[in-house]
Structure 1
Amino acid sequence: MARLSPARRVALTVLSEAERTGRYARELLPHAAESAALDPRDAAFALRLALGATATAGCLDDALAPHIAKPKALEPSVRMALRIAVFESLYLQTAPEVVVSQGVELVRSVSRGAAAFANAVLRRVCENRLSFLHAEDVAGGHREMVAHARRAGLPVWLVRRIVDSLGEVGAQDLLDAQLEPAPISVHLNPLRTDVVAEALEDDGASALGLPGAMRVGRVSALVRSGAFDRGDLVASDYHAQLIAAVATREGTSLEIGAGRGTKTFMMMAHAKRRDLDHEHLALDLYEGKCKANSQRVDRSGLGEISFVAGDATDLDACLAVLDKEYRHAVRFDTVFVDAPCSGTGTMRRHGEIPWRLTPQECDRNLPKLQLAMLRAAADRVAPHGELIYATCSVLRAENIGVVTAFLTSPQGEDFVPISVSDALRDAGGAYAAAAHDLAVCENADGLFQSHPTRDGFDGHFCARFVRK
């Protein structure tokens, strides 16, 4: 009988807890790894298994189904253990004898009587690995698309929409990167750069094109130093950092969809670097997120801002107190809509995304909400002010589709789209490299759309409009 590796045991514990509680595997892993006293190498392997089995869950079930008489009747804990083993076979190319022996022990740990069953099923999965990944069980006309989806561990319907949105080349970039670790980048508080210098060096930091943006190989030294807790820096994808810089302008600013304040922090940091006269109001649907944002800003020392909680599709209700104070509907020099979205540009970081999404959400529900938020925001832009719309999606329906619908709506008639990268060209020489990084991903209309690539950053969208 083989001995079950501690990393696989912890991965199963984490996945079972995530399914039971609805929490994210990435959040649960550190505590589970610490409780099991995993060394750094085993902890990293456990994380790889937990995130990978989450990100490819539907494909793993599809690979198992032909070899199980009643797949839907499978005990949840046994299914989860089998998923980990099948993930190793399909996507890590672990040796079949290891997949089977460790998979059997993993199943035995939750159901002793299912060990023989697991042995037979996993042997068949390993034997059929290439046939499954090449979709040889699928009719010719659909085989190529299904094979693309299976190799990336994504739903077929979602891969079709990614291809429609990014084209064959862009989609292939995303699919090739989907199961690769995403790069890590942070944004520095300009008031605390000396404080974190040593930890940044220990974590292998290197400067990116945007002032304050750094790429790091890991964050262990930064975490140990307490830098994140103190507000010395925030973790944020580089393309998201570029968008926050675009949205930072002189004058009054309304940030819609501020969440826990990562972009708020970065906008305040850029305002400080550029010595802008910047008055900031951050809005989010949830009071708890507004509170977390407020606490982060307070810790950072970057300045004072205002907060309001409410539904961004009804800004009159959200801003009623402010309007009453000024005795008119308040308008802002900049309104930044960081819209809720599918998150399809960040799936390799958040493996839960692809298998929780539905076609209706991506095709109808989210674009409808995004357009409603953008139209409501437009009414709060001052004459000659700017309206900025952003998502972390790569899907056309949420991005260019929403922009087109907005510009043809009554609220959009007063706005003209302008180049996103020009916002940073106008910010001075220190931002020239960042402007170039934006321009690389701009289309002819000045809309910014990035997508994940191997060793590259995430998929984000940004549109910029000026009020006539």
Structure 2
Amino acid sequence: MLTPAIQMQTALDLIQEVDRAARPADAIVSAFFRTHRKMEDADRGAIFGLLQDMLRHRARLGWWLARHGRSDTPRNRLLVWLTLGQGRGPDQIHRLFNGRKFAPEALSQNEHSLLIKLQGVALIHRDMPDEVRLECPDWALAPLQARFGDGFEAEMTAMLTPPTLGLRVNTLKATRKDMLRELANLGLSPEPSEVAPNGIRIRKRLSLTRLPALKSGALEVQDEGSQLVAGLVDAQPGDRVADFCAGAGGKTLAIAAQMQGKGLVVACDINQGRLKRCTERLRKAGAHNAQTQVLTSETDKWIKRRKGSFDRVLVDAPCSGTGTWRRNPDARWRPEEEQGLESLIALQARILASAARLVKPGGRLVYATCSLLPEENEGQIETFLAKTPGFKVVPLPQIAPDLRSCHEAYLSLTPAQHDTDGFFAAVLQRDLPEVKETPEDAE
């Protein structure tokens, strides 16, 4: 077990690495802990928890630093969080920032002065603008206010709470009953998900290395909302299914299990590295009815050659990720989100139009995002239907009557309303060709 001071310096090292890197924080965290393999679970949990707290409250911490004329650096943000977020006094912080071997550099007089000024102050101040108080970046403020109206504050507040750990039972290898018993024996107090039939929630913070079933492929980490999206594909044994933006294959795995290992699932993506990871996960899960396909773009020739040959096509489109902010709090502050929303919306439209070509007559196209922005969700569906004759929306109650409290036509999940990540999904069905009546039929 690390001493508190060394633990604090290690956390600061990780925070600084996340701050200066262009990659998502979860990738940096995974790499960081791989280089600290001997670190105990308790230390990992404390360090990761501190990082997440800092990311969730970044706008507020930066506001306080600006108010007192201090630079917005990882070290300064950490000092403000320890004071305002954890309620530690200057003496307690001095014992952590003591300048000893492997501990943070000793506090300067300037830093000590800041701690004195902030002692006993609340983290939220009445002068904070809404975008700071609710940790919402400027580019997303107006769209989310329009989306939620009076519920905007409740939704943004829910985004600041740590999510539960969502697990999906791989029914090719285990049952939920068996997994609940195994997890209970580990002292983890598992709960069956309310709606997802193979979902399990764990509310305790833990290291995933404690879960042998993850290594065996009997369990997969997957938010309940993501499981529900995969469920809407409604893939049956023997179907041909394309997961058009498969990434590392989370939904591909769920779909393959739905099909009981029969038929074919093709996981498509433009990123070969992600598909390699998908292949490894499929093998571990025993999903022998799945394969991968690298695409050069959303208009790859592979698509044209397989036009109209799939019963189900899932488009889990690249998006702003606004629905994942409580799980990935760094995502809201990535500069590419602010600069790239318009280009994302255009890319989503191109992907949806191209993937639709794969759907056979009578087949279904499922469009999904982990976004809360109408422009990426309902707006995309409206535009697609206006430009693409022959498709119609299948209302949610017809295919998933148990998903109550959702939009009449679409799946629409939010952290505040459903305690899941924010997800949107629409199910579209391709018309069957009209059968012309012959004179013999008329007789």
TM-score, shorter chain, exceeding 0.5: yes
One-letter amino acid of the counterpart of residue 168, structure 2: H
Does structure 2 retain, via aligned residues, the 8 Å contact 1:18–1:28? Answer: no
- 1:462 matches 2:438: no
Which residue pairs with 1:217 in the alignment?
Answer: 203
Does structure 1 retain, via aligned residues, the 8 Å contact 2:45–2:207? Answer: no
Q: CA deviation at 1:402?
A: 1.1
Structure 1 residue runs of 5 or longer lacking an equivalent are 137-145, 425-434
Does structure 1 retain, via aligned residues, the 8 Å contact 2:248–2:278? Answer: yes
Aligned length: 417
Which residue pairs with 1:429 in the alignment?
Answer: none
- 1:414 matches 2:417: no
CA change 1:59–1:99 in 2 (3 A) is farther
Which residue pairs with 1:140 in the alignment?
Answer: none
Q: How does 1:31-46 map to 2 (within 5 A)?
A: 31=34, 37=39, 40=42, 42-46=43-47
Does structure 1 retain, via aligned residues, the 8 Å contact 2:268–2:295? Answer: yes
Hey, what's the Cα distance between the residues in 2 that align with 1:98 and 1:110? Answer: 15
CA change 1:200–1:236 in 2 (3 A) is same
Return the structure number with greater helix share. Answer: 1
1:343 equivalent among 292, 296, 321: 321
Q: Which runs of 4+ in 1 moved over 6 A?
A: none
Does structure 2 retain, via aligned residues, the 8 Å contact 1:281–1:308? Answer: yes
Which residue pairs with 1:319 in the alignment?
Answer: 303
Structure 2 residue runs of 5 or longer lacking an equivalent are 432-443
Which residue pairs with 2:274 in the alignment?
Answer: 289
CA change 1:228–1:456 in 2 (3 A) is same
Which residue pairs with 1:243 in the alignment?
Answer: 229
Does structure 1 retain, via aligned residues, the 8 Å contact 2:169–2:198? Answer: yes
CA change 1:291–1:219 in 2 (3 A) is farther
Q: How does 1:261-410 map to 2 (within 5 A)?
A: 261-272=249-260, 278-315=263-300, 317-319=301-303, 323=305, 329-357=307-335, 358-362=337-341, 364-409=342-387
One-letter amino acid of the counterpart of residue 347, structure 1: W
One-letter amino acid of the counterpart of residue 124, structure 1: K
Hey, what's the Cα distance between the residues in 2 that align with 1:125 and 1:454? Answer: 35
SS in 2 for 1:334: strand
Which residue pairs with 1:62 in the alignment?
Answer: 63
Q: Provide the TM-score with structure 2 as the length reference.
A: 0.84
Hey, what's the Cα distance between the residues in 1 that align with 2:297 and 2:234? Answer: 20
- Percent identity reads 24
SS in 2 for 1:121: helix
Does structure 1 retain, via aligned residues, the 8 Å contact 2:5–2:97? Answer: no
Does structure 1 retain, via aligned residues, the 8 Å contact 2:245–2:268? Answer: yes
1:224-251 CA distance string (max 9 Å, x none): 3532232211111101101101113232
2:146 equivalent among 150, 164, 171: 164
Hey, what's the Cα distance between the residues in 1 that align with 2:428 and 2:89? Answer: 55
CA change 1:34–1:279 in 2 (3 A) is closer
Does structure 2 retain, via aligned residues, the 8 Å contact 1:256–1:312? Answer: no
- 1:423 matches 2:399: yes
SS in 2 for 1:133: coil
CA change 1:6–1:154 in 2 (3 A) is farther
- 1:451 matches 2:414: yes
1:291-325 CA distance string (max 9 Å, x none): 2112211121132222111145204x2336xx2xx
1:21-80 CA distance string (max 9 Å, x none): 445254256457765x5562x5433222211212333432232023236x3xx7xxxx21
CA change 1:196–1:451 in 2 (3 A) is closer
Does structure 2 retain, via aligned residues, the 8 Å contact 1:64–1:125? Answer: no
One-letter amino acid of the counterpart of residue 78, structure 2: I
1:303-360 CA distance string (max 9 Å, x none): 2222111145204x2336xx2xxxx735311111000111111111112101005434
Q: CA deviation at 1:104?
A: 5.7
CA change 1:12–1:253 in 2 (3 A) is same
Hey, what's the Cα distance between the residues in 1 that align with 2:273 and 2:113? Answer: 49
Does structure 2 retain, via aligned residues, the 8 Å contact 1:331–1:380? Answer: yes
Q: Provide the TM-score with structure 1 as the length reference.
A: 0.80
Q: CA deviation at 1:450?
A: 1.1
Hey, what's the Cα distance between the residues in 2 that align with 1:43 and 1:419? Answer: 45
Hey, what's the Cα distance between the residues in 2 that align with 1:309 and 1:206? Answer: 37
CA change 1:226–1:104 in 2 (3 A) is closer
SS in 1 for 2:259: helix
1:81-119 CA distance string (max 9 Å, x none): 1111222344x251444676468658996655x611111
Hey, what's the Cα distance between the residues in 2 that align with 1:461 and 1:181? Answer: 21
Does structure 1 retain, via aligned residues, the 8 Å contact 2:411–2:425? Answer: yes
- 1:230 matches 2:209: no
CA change 1:154–1:99 in 2 (3 A) is farther
